[in-house]
Structure 1
């Protein structure tokens, strides 16, 4: 007999408007249970009860004025009970303008997620758009999926399984892990001639035959196919290497303007930005947007205009065309010939180069934000190494699950390298602290990270700390070893474009166009380009800006 489904609870807190708000939230009663109280204290009691009963709480909706505390004090208390709940402040129309000034600073510091005017009539879809966005964000980062597009069968949650889950999360594909002895696990394994010879993890996706996955690449090819499986016999107008913000923007603008456009991405679309739990300073998203959602929306937008994506194929080479012949993007799965190429392969995180910890990658040690792994950190002590925005976003997200999150930076402060909105949010967050002038020099554990040794770079003092998770966001290294020598790069390996190109490569005393490389018809955009800003919006802007240069290159010259 199937156990009754436990509905997550939305908690409404308002002294005078709880009945009105319950009625307004009535459209969610199929999927959520609604609870309403009048005061901060009553809300704390209900949250304690829900936690005891293992009822998830995706959202707390609080009136901007409470009788027994300020709403900011209330959220600070409630966060200690349910740190994963999205926090929504709603104001009656009589109080919206008067309450806004005292609450605005709290929103900037991340004390709550949105400040909305209570609906003044039926079908206030602007209000409910904000509600559903927050619920969707909770569902994609906290809750187990109700429906799984991909099933993973394995007896252990090892590094490979986590990497596959992370890839699927970033691609927006709900997945669940099932034990081989479970009903689902048994059904999947029964599809093999001899289940006793199966190696794990086993991945079944999109009604295809299950595979024995040895890498994320196996899963990507199983779902999306290989370039050789897709018709690329023709010469395309534009091949884009890398599906981060720059590549996605180039794909949208290129395809929308009629260019036959192909994108090759080694991993999940979105690049490093796709691992960000919440980007709050991207234009047009006042409540923020996760990197995954931003990337998937851009991918769908590009596909709508006719762009094709080949996911899971690292580019191994670029053959430069000559005498009117096209360039060729080379992968193990096939070649894509293109009249123009945009290199937007982005950057990877630098290695920590502490050998004992390299052996624990995937077992408590992660390069990047590793969104999927965050859920495995519940109640644990976690460390984040890095002082950039990616590190700050990762720390804030991890604090929803971990007992404590410590950011380690070599600099005296994070204010020089991190956006102020993140600095403010971290300063307020009681679960996150910053340790300056520190570095990780050792660590270990029996099959999983258990401890770290941290050195003070000023005094040289070393101290050992218990640790269950280490997330390394150490800065940028270009990922372009596959480029031919003819494409000039700086001393760090970033691609040179425009006036940064060596003068001996200029034509007729003129530098290449701003995003053009030393090879005609090959362009660079985003983090891979020397001198880029290393920001999502800047990369998107470069991806859009490169398309007019591609058009200019593709236009036939004047007849003589």
Structure 2
């Protein structure tokens, strides 16, 4: 396959854009065209030549009808490509108003002011972000940090790929008889016929039995957690709330340890693109946001232990602090933040549970979406995560159907996502519907689903090669002691939600405090939380003042 292409459509400023994009010509095939017909023909020619189109750059100085045709035509020609509209300085203010809805609805990925001269790094920073996201979600990696060798891409292999995508680790899957497979197996013979075999650029190689085993290898899980002092704060869970708490606590000089069972970023790390997070006008993927936050926390001194889930909390024998237990050792701490988040509820249809990993996926499973090019896909769920998963899948799949029990999405999904879904011709919404059955094809991969109208019970069988289940929150806090009170659904009670008979005196606990002094809860695990990335981040940051107050006592 040849170098990925950047196609620039401009009739009046071709020289300016040619000069600006000259810096990309070493690694991208930069093509210049004048109109919509030429852009479509160029995209088709590139496809026949084995090139992928990474980015369409469209000059706004076209006739309005032609411009709209250009935008729609590029999406139809190459749905996986990013689309950037550039406006000359003389038109930028007017275009900003005209294209505001188009950007919000995802018709274009960004609107930028045309470069005003050399080294316009604000412009190139935005272009770099678009290309970065394309490379992370669409392109095959040029350098594979992790190689998975297996004769069959089974459910475990797909779980490993999904995990690697969540942590931003480029990976590839190879058959043992391939050139890469033979090269890896020559250095890793002692797998005893167990698949998959995983090889890393870091130098380790061997059979990988689970995602947790892979996490241990990637992050160098120690034989024992070597925290030999009483720390100020242990954060359990490295989702948005846990990462924010880690950054702010360690930046203020609090000794901080963060425990994460699997992937840094938690459920938010599966989001292909978060467009409404403060400070990222062009959006950011959950994976990028999580990895940047982890880097910040490390810089300030947070110690991360990945692959060791917390198994319990108990008071120290003398009662002056808490002990967080893991299978790798205990951590003694003055305060604890429970930020383990939630998992997706199970569908409860036995025939589909048997197909998990073979067309049926819990969560967004971004890596799996690439394998469904040209297929029909169903997404079950009405929250923002389901909307983001549907939009990402629509870059590859022929059709995407969102199935929800409610009549529509308005009560559960952000408006900007609803607008983007309504505009996208590949996505449809079936309200008042649920999935009740499904089955495989001759090779054991999902082939069909039965959909039921929740009002009258009518059923319809539809073809589907992919089913993504994002069914709502199931709290992950069974490891907590009974003294940490929870609501009827299992979420941790905090602040004024705690019954008055559990208050100390007549004053309710602080907003994020639990029924156990010195233990706090934040993010999706907390009863009454908003289940949004920004609100979880805010709660994680705000916990630091409560920790300071507790330590001062």
TM bin (shorter chain): over 0.9
Match of 2:487 in 1: 490
In the alignment, the residues of structure 2 paired with residue 76 and residue 188 of structure 1 have an alpha-carbon distance, to the nearest angstrom, of 44
- Once the two structures are TM-superposed, the CA of residue 73 in structure 1 deviates from its matched residue by 2.7
Matched, 1:371 2:357: no
The 8 Å contact of residues 225 and 329 in structure 2, kept in 1 or not, is answered as no
**Candidates 428, 431, 434, aligned match of 1:436:** 431
Q: TM-score, normalised by structure 2?
A: 0.97
Aligned ranges 1:497-536 → 2 under 5 Å:
497-536=494-533
* CA separation of 1:506 and 1:322: change in aligned 2, threshold 3 A: farther
**Candidates 411, 414, 418, aligned match of 1:419:** 414
**Candidates 47, 51, 59, aligned match of 1:51:** 47
Matched, 1:78 2:78: no
Matched, 1:180 2:176: yes
- Once the two structures are TM-superposed, the CA of residue 189 in structure 1 deviates from its matched residue by 1.3
In the alignment, the residues of structure 1 paired with residue 207 and residue 535 of structure 2 have an alpha-carbon distance, to the nearest angstrom, of 40
**Number of residues of Structure 1 aligned to a counterpart in Structure 2:** 551
Match of 1:468 in 2: 465
Match of 2:333 in 1: 338
**Candidates 255, 260, 272, aligned match of 1:265:** 260
**Candidates 356, 363, 372, aligned match of 1:361:** 356
In the alignment, the residues of structure 2 paired with residue 72 and residue 283 of structure 1 have an alpha-carbon distance, to the nearest angstrom, of 29
Match of 1:537 in 2: 534
- Structure 1's unaligned 5+ residue stretches are none
Matched, 1:313 2:308: yes
Match of 1:395 in 2: 390
In the alignment, the residues of structure 2 paired with residue 93 and residue 48 of structure 1 have an alpha-carbon distance, to the nearest angstrom, of 32
- Once the two structures are TM-superposed, the CA of residue 60 in structure 1 deviates from its matched residue by 0.0
Query: What secondary structure does 1:410 align onto?
Result: coil
The 8 Å contact of residues 227 and 335 in structure 1, kept in 2 or not, is answered as no
In the alignment, the residues of structure 1 paired with residue 315 and residue 209 of structure 2 have an alpha-carbon distance, to the nearest angstrom, of 33
The 8 Å contact of residues 526 and 539 in structure 1, kept in 2 or not, is answered as yes
RMSD: 1.4
Match of 1:199 in 2: 194
In the alignment, the residues of structure 2 paired with residue 484 and residue 76 of structure 1 have an alpha-carbon distance, to the nearest angstrom, of 55
- Once the two structures are TM-superposed, the CA of residue 330 in structure 1 deviates from its matched residue by 1.7
- Once the two structures are TM-superposed, the CA of residue 228 in structure 1 deviates from its matched residue by 3.8
Aligned ranges 1:103-114 → 2 under 5 Å:
103-114=99-110
- Once the two structures are TM-superposed, the CA of residue 492 in structure 1 deviates from its matched residue by 0.6
- Once the two structures are TM-superposed, the CA of residue 428 in structure 1 deviates from its matched residue by 0.5
* CA separation of 1:209 and 1:241: change in aligned 2, threshold 3 A: same
Q: What do the CA deviations read for 1:26-50 (whole angstroms, capped 9, x no partner)?
A: 1111110110011111111111111
Matched, 1:232 2:227: yes
- Once the two structures are TM-superposed, the CA of residue 339 in structure 1 deviates from its matched residue by 1.4
Match of 1:553 in 2: 550
The 8 Å contact of residues 190 and 206 in structure 2, kept in 1 or not, is answered as no
Query: What secondary structure does 2:335 align onto?
Result: strand
Match of 1:276 in 2: 271
The 8 Å contact of residues 61 and 88 in structure 2, kept in 1 or not, is answered as no
Query: What secondary structure does 2:425 align onto?
Result: coil
Aligned ranges 1:449-464 → 2 under 5 Å:
449-464=446-461
Match of 2:61 in 1: 65
In the alignment, the residues of structure 2 paired with residue 433 and residue 377 of structure 1 have an alpha-carbon distance, to the nearest angstrom, of 17
- Structure 2's unaligned 5+ residue stretches are none
In the alignment, the residues of structure 1 paired with residue 399 and residue 222 of structure 2 have an alpha-carbon distance, to the nearest angstrom, of 44
The 8 Å contact of residues 93 and 118 in structure 1, kept in 2 or not, is answered as yes
The 8 Å contact of residues 39 and 67 in structure 1, kept in 2 or not, is answered as no
Aligned ranges 1:87-102 → 2 under 5 Å:
87-102=83-98
* CA separation of 1:227 and 1:494: change in aligned 2, threshold 3 A: farther
Moved more, 501-510 or 123-132: 501-510
Match of 1:149 in 2: 145
- Once the two structures are TM-superposed, the CA of residue 194 in structure 1 deviates from its matched residue by 4.8
Query: What secondary structure does 2:38 align onto?
Result: helix
Moved more, 523-532 or 5-14: 5-14
Match of 1:27 in 2: 23
* CA separation of 1:131 and 1:192: change in aligned 2, threshold 3 A: closer
In the alignment, the residues of structure 2 paired with residue 271 and residue 72 of structure 1 have an alpha-carbon distance, to the nearest angstrom, of 38
- Once the two structures are TM-superposed, the CA of residue 520 in structure 1 deviates from its matched residue by 0.8
In the alignment, the residues of structure 2 paired with residue 329 and residue 453 of structure 1 have an alpha-carbon distance, to the nearest angstrom, of 45
The 8 Å contact of residues 197 and 206 in structure 2, kept in 1 or not, is answered as yes
- Once the two structures are TM-superposed, the CA of residue 191 in structure 1 deviates from its matched residue by 2.4
Match of 2:161 in 1: 165
Query: What secondary structure does 2:93 align onto?
Result: helix
